[in-house]
Amino acid sequence: MVIVMAPGATQDDIESVVEAVGAAGGEAFVSRGVNRTIIGLVGDVERFATLNLRAMPGVADAVRVSTPYKLVSRDNHPDRSTVTVQGVPIGPDTVTLIAGPCAVETPQQTLEAAEMAKAAGATLLRGGAFKPRTSPYAFQGLGEAGLRILADVREKTGLPIVTEVVDAHDVALVASYADMLQVGTRNAQNFALLQAVGAAGKPVMLKRGMTATIEEWLMAAEYIAQRGNLDIVLCERGIRTYETATRNTLDISAVPVVQRLSHLPVIIDPSHSGGRRDLVLPLSRAAIAVGADGVIIDVHPHPEQALCDGPQALVDGDLDELAQIMQEFPKLVSRTLTTSPSA
């Protein structure tokens, strides 16, 4: 932490800061400039934060220089991590396609969507059984019955399952079926849920909160990591802006920014960001080109009948092009498409 003294700060003001820091177990290094004095602090930043140094006489500003997310930061972990879900890697050497229906509706619909996903090159199946719907009147998901359908489709297709958990009380239940737990944008700062998924012993996909800064997103990941789980994949899914032409604004720059700050893999959800079928393939190309470690895409055999997010689901006719993107684009960034461990 660095304390910037105001231009008129007195010697007494400077000494008071040095004393307060010393009393908190830290060390203060005073550097006097022509107009201003800067004091560098070494020690426990969290303890300094409780001192309220910014309010002391003569202090102009207190600036934190170390990151408030230690475990997920790249500072102490320079190599980027690979998270493995039942043998399927998500990390810096590969591009992983995760695809499936937004919501599990019926056994037939889920199986058909999984087969579509697999045909396009997906190695993980997405599908929600517990749906975090904005409207309480909208389809809320099939709950445990949906998890059973997913487990059955996993059996038939060999695709491991990524599925959302919306309530800390359901973590054990969802983890007993899921291969990877998803935390959605609406729960991205539900700290009790983050701690519970951190303790569940399964890899986690953490979506970015729709109004979360990158720092807030990484601090949310830190809650999971603090419980001993570093198998975390971050997912950029668009943020709220003034733009209404798309459902959310895909923050494509978040990918390289986060990859510099954190060692965790980062994927993009072009379906929930654009919210429109016609944007999913262009945004997928952009995602791979910018260096995302994977994409997660909604597919549906009959989107006009979908109970959730039909307008953004890819259909059969889109699959050849999706498969082609997945074959060609990873090569452009010196990566390979993740293949199934059993293939």
Where does residue 275 fall: left (phi above 0), alpha (psi -120 to 50 degrees), or beta otherwise? Answer: left
Which C-beta is closer to ligand PEP: that of 43 or that of 132? Answer: 132
Contact residues for 33 (Cβ-Cβ < 8 A; gap 6+): none
Half-sphere exposure of 50 (CA within 13 A, CB side): 8
The pair of three-digit structure tokens given for residue 105, joined into one six-digit string: 């509706």
Site string for Mn ion, 225-264 (x = CB under 5 A): ----------------------------------------
Q: Does 142 bind Mn ion (CB under 5 A)?
A: no
Q: Does 270 bind ligand PEP (CB under 6 A)?
A: no
Residues 63 and 54: beta-carbon distance below 8 Å:
no
Q: How far apart are CA 311 and CA 239, in angstroms?
A: 19
154 binds, among Mn ion, ligand PEP, none (CB under 5 to 8 A by kind): none
The helix (H) or strand (E) run that includes residue 171 is: helix 171-177
Q: Does 185 bind ligand PEP (CB under 6 A)?
A: yes
132 binds, among Mn ion, ligand PEP, none (CB under 5 to 8 A by kind): ligand PEP
Q: How far is the CB of 103 from ligand PEP (least distance, A)?
A: 7
Contact residues for 323 (Cβ-Cβ < 8 A; gap 6+): 119, 120, 121
Q: Does 309 bind Mn ion (CB under 5 A)?
A: yes
Q: How far is the CB of 149 from Mn ion (least distance, A)?
A: 17
Q: Does 184 bind ligand PEP (CB under 6 A)?
A: yes
Which C-beta is closer to ligand PEP: that of 51 or that of 114? Answer: 114
Q: Which part of the chain contacts Mn ion (CB under 5 A), choosing from 78-86, 97-105, 215-223, 238-246?
A: 97-105
Which C-beta is closer to ligand PEP: that of 59 or that of 105? Answer: 105
Q: Does 237 bind ligand PEP (CB under 6 A)?
A: yes
Q: How far is the CB of 135 from Mn ion (least distance, A)?
A: 13
Among 108, 118, 163, 116, CA closest to 141: 163
Which C-beta is closer to Mn ion: that of 300 or that of 335? Answer: 300
Q: How far apart are CA 97 and CA 77, in angstroms?
A: 26
Q: How far is the CB of 102 from Mn ion (least distance, A)?
A: 4
Q: 107-112 contacts: CB < 8 A, separation 24 or more?
A: 107/149, 107/152, 107/153, 109/300, 109/301, 109/302, 110/149, 110/150, 110/153, 111/153, 111/156, 111/157, 112/301
335 binds, among Mn ion, ligand PEP, none (CB under 5 to 8 A by kind): none
Q: How far apart are CA 215 and CA 67, in angstroms?
A: 9
Q: How far is the CB of 309 from Mn ion (least distance, A)?
A: 4
SS3 228: coil
Q: How far is the CB of 294 from ligand PEP (least distance, A)?
A: 14
Q: Does 287 bind ligand PEP (CB under 6 A)?
A: no
Please, what is the angle between helix 254-261 and helix 214-226, to 10°?
Answer: 50
Q: Which part of the chain contacts Mn ion (CB under 5 A), choosing from 23-31, 72-80, 101-109, 225-233?
A: 101-109
Name the residues that contact Mn ion, by CB under 5 A.
102, 309
Name the residues that contact ligand PEP, by CB under 6 A.
102, 128, 132, 184-185, 207, 237, 269, 272
